[in-house]
Amino acid sequence: MLENSVEQDRLNLKPKKFLMWLFVITSFMLFAALTSGFIVYTAGDPSRGIKMILPKLFMYSTCAIILSSVTMHLAYKSAKALKFTAQKMYLALTILLGVLFFVLQIQAWKGFVADGVFFINPNASQSFIYVITGTHLLHIFAGIIVLITALGGIMKNIPQVRNLFRMEMASIFWHFLDILWIYLYVFLLLNQ
């Protein structure tokens, strides 16, 4: 009876995993469109370039999100090994690093404003920085909620099949956000 329940849980969770992959693909297409729009806008006209140096805070936030990917991986491995204390610790660290990433990005925006680079300005390529990083921040916010949900589940001692499912979903989404930010950061570095 219990074995049938576990198998039924696995079958009920497969469509949700498929939806997560659809969301990841859709998000990837959104960011491909944004970076393509930037390239088209600046195509061959140096006067349309960013004309600014990216803040060092972007580099620090990149380190934070890469480190958070490591802690996410360790949390997932701990969940699979039934090391729930380690899972909670690594998941909490991932959430804290995600919040740190978020705060560093907001501080970078404050630096833009202090330097006179506003969202609405005559140079649309500078506006693209706000749009690209802001859209990524919305995804980070959603990712933090997914991580908190996974942590809440383990705190409530949900069944292991659901715990692993939440961890897998959180891991897929969070690693995607990490890879996406690295792409965006390198893209912005190459176009500054």
Of the ranges 7-11, 127-131, 141-145, 156-160, the best mean pLDDT one: 141-145
Question: Which residue is it, tokens 């978020």?
Answer: 102
Please give the backbone phi and psi of residue 121, each rounded to the nearest 5 degrees, phi first. Answer: -155, 170
Percentage above 70 pLDDT, the chain? 90
Percentage above 90 pLDDT, the chain? 66
Residue 1: what pLDDT?
Answer: 46
Please give the backbone phi and psi of residue 166, each rounded to the nearest 5 degrees, phi first. Answer: -60, -40
Summarize pLDDT for 35-44 with one digit per residue, the tens. Answer: 999 888 888 6
Whether residue 65 is predicted with pLDDT greater than 80 in this model: the reply is: yes
Residue 10: what pLDDT?
Answer: 56
Residue 17: CB partners within 8 Å, gap ≥ 6?
165, 168, 169, 172
Whether residue 2 is predicted with pLDDT greater than 60 in this model: the reply is: no
Q: Where are the domains of the chain?
A: 2-190
What would be the CATH architecture of the domain defined by 2-190? Up-down Bundle (1.20)
Higher pLDDT, 174 or 5: 174
Measured between alpha carbons, how far is 17 from 113 in angstroms, rounded to an integer? 40
Lowest mean pLDDT among 58-67, 94-103, 154-163: 154-163
